[in-house]
Structure 1
Amino acid sequence: MRYPLVELATALLFAGIAALVGLTWALPAYLYLAGIAVPLALIDLQVRRLPDQIVLPSYAVALVLLTVASAGTGDWAALLRALVGGVSLFALYALIFVVKPGGMGLGDVKLAGVLGLYLAWWGWDALAVGGFLAFLIGGLIAVGLILFTSAGRRSKMPFGPAMLAGAFLALIVAAPVGDWYLGLTGLST
């Protein structure tokens, strides 16, 4: 039963990404992200780790596919933004990993860099919203586990699925959320 569900989830994610991104130069890059998201989430849920065999090659694949997308669109600023975003999100997670030992796994840190590439290529608002949503979704899941299961405050939970969900949700809502926030601050354009 598991295999058909994995295939269905992947197909639905592919369809959603195709509808969101459209037939653009960026589509292969975001389909690749969707392709690794389902196995990463399931593996993290099952064994609480994000395998290097999937995460580490994703840096090279993302860089190649996002470079092709930037070349195809002529938007080299998006590629530079992706590089800065990938390093920034990786650095933020690495800092959390060092400051709060045991609060986050090294796999989460590695995945953060990959997600930072994709989110920042999409836009700065996607990077900010995606980074925030990962912690919001993770926190909501943790509260639910504490309230409705035997989990406690110190229980370990896989964070990769929340990171991935936050990233995909950010691709959808980043622009309106960013506009809303800038409107609140009086900085809207």
Structure 2
Amino acid sequence: MRLAALRHAVPPGLPSRAGCDACGAPVGLTRPWPALGPAARCGHCRARVGSPPGTVEVAVLAAAVLLAFGGPSGGALPALIWWLGWTIPAIFVDVAVHRLPDRLTLPAAAGTWLLLGVAALDADPGHWLRAVLGGTGLALFFASTALLLGRRGFGLGDAKLALSVGALLAWYGWPVLLFGMLLTFGLSALVSLGLLVTRRANWSSHLPFGPFLLLGTVAALLLAS
């Protein structure tokens, strides 16, 4: 996950990062340490590489604990695991450069829909239909704000992430989808208000929305299970 966040945390239009920004030393699966470890340091120049030290590992550990002790049971669990595996690095990219890359959001959506479809074979097929409608509807809502409001609306990356978010939440029912969105927007509003009060942001500041989608979705699923 740290490698995915490192690769894609670049501004739009630039190629994926292949190594250390400071010295150019390559970073990859063949040379994972210490750049892809919790220290997140280049093995050559010791400069920080990618997401802050320990953050990705803490996020993965938190996800594992939640899945083990409070996650939803049943056939939808593989879909949630798949979704987290792609969405966690996407969120780190969003925090770093304010974008959600297609190479992370689209596989997250495709795999989530597919695994929910497999789960529907042993459950009510209506669950999968509701998931498809929920994901499509939520994505269209986010996309419409991007097209109609421009920078004042949500990004198209948020819309693509919503394909999987809406599907996961709607699988458990329309009230869960609504509750998840209320949590997402409520958390976003609270954080925005806090930043305004402390003067760490102003009315024209743009906050990444991906982290709120992740937290709102996970919270709604935990409370619904």
TM-score by shorter chain over 0.5: yes
Aligned to 2:42: none
What one-letter code is carried by the residue in structure 2 that aligns with 1:166?
A: G
Name the residue aligned to 1:117. 167
Residues 4 and 97 from structure 1, CA distance in 2 versus in 1: closer, same or farther, beyond 3 angstroms? same
Root-mean-square deviation (CA, aligned residues, Å) is: 1.8
1:165 and 2:165 matched: no
- Gaps of at least 5 residues in structure 2 are 1-38, 40-51
Structure with the higher helix share, 1 or 2: 1
Q: Which runs of 5+ in 1 are unaligned?
A: 176-189
Instruction: State the distance in 1 between where 2:218 and 2:65 align.
Output: 13
State yes or no: 1:99 paired with 2:127: no
Specify whether residues 153 and 125 from structure 1 end up closer, same or farther in structure 2 by C-alpha distance, changes over 3 A only. Answer: same
Task: Return the index of the structure with the highest Cα Rg.
Answer: 2
Output the CA distance in 2 between the equivalents of 1:99 and 1:86.
20
For the residues of structure 2 that align with 1:93 and 1:42, how far apart are their CA atoms? 20
Give the Cα separation in 2 of the matches to 1:120 and 1:59: 14
Note closer, same or farther for the CA distance 1:150–1:11 as it changes in structure 2 (3 Å cut).
closer
Query: Which residue of structure 2 aligns with residue 178 of structure 1?
Result: none
Instruction: Provide the C-alpha distance between the structure 1 equivalents of 2:101 and 2:149, rounded to a whole number of angstroms.
Output: 22
Q: CA offsets per residue over residues 101-144 of structure 1, 9 Å max, x none?
A: 21221111111121011111122111111122221111111111
Which residue does the alignment assign to 2:136? Answer: 87
Secondary structure of 2:168's aligned partner:
helix
Distance 1:85 1:23, change over 3 A: closer
Residue number in structure 2 paired with 1:56: 106
Q: What CA distance in whole angstroms lies between the structure 2 residues aligned with 1:23 and 1:116?
A: 18
**Is 1:76 matched with 2:125?**
yes
Give, in angstroms, the shift of residue 3 of structure 1. Answer: 5.1
Letter of the 2:143 partner, please give it.
A
CA contact (8 A) 2:143 2:155 kept: no
Compared CA separation, residues 22 and 164, structure 1 to 2 (3 A): closer
- Say whether 1:127 aligns with 2:177: yes
Q: What percentage of residue pairs aligned between the two structures are identical?
A: 36
Runs ≥4 in structure 1, deviation > 6 angstroms?
Answer: none
- TM-score, normalised relative to structure 2: 0.71
Provide the aligned length of Structure 1 versus Structure 2: 174
Which of the pair has the greater relative contact order for Cα pairs under 8 Å at 6+ separation?
Answer: 1
Match of 1:143 in 2: 193
Partner Cα separation in structure 1 for residue 57 and residue 158 of structure 2: 24
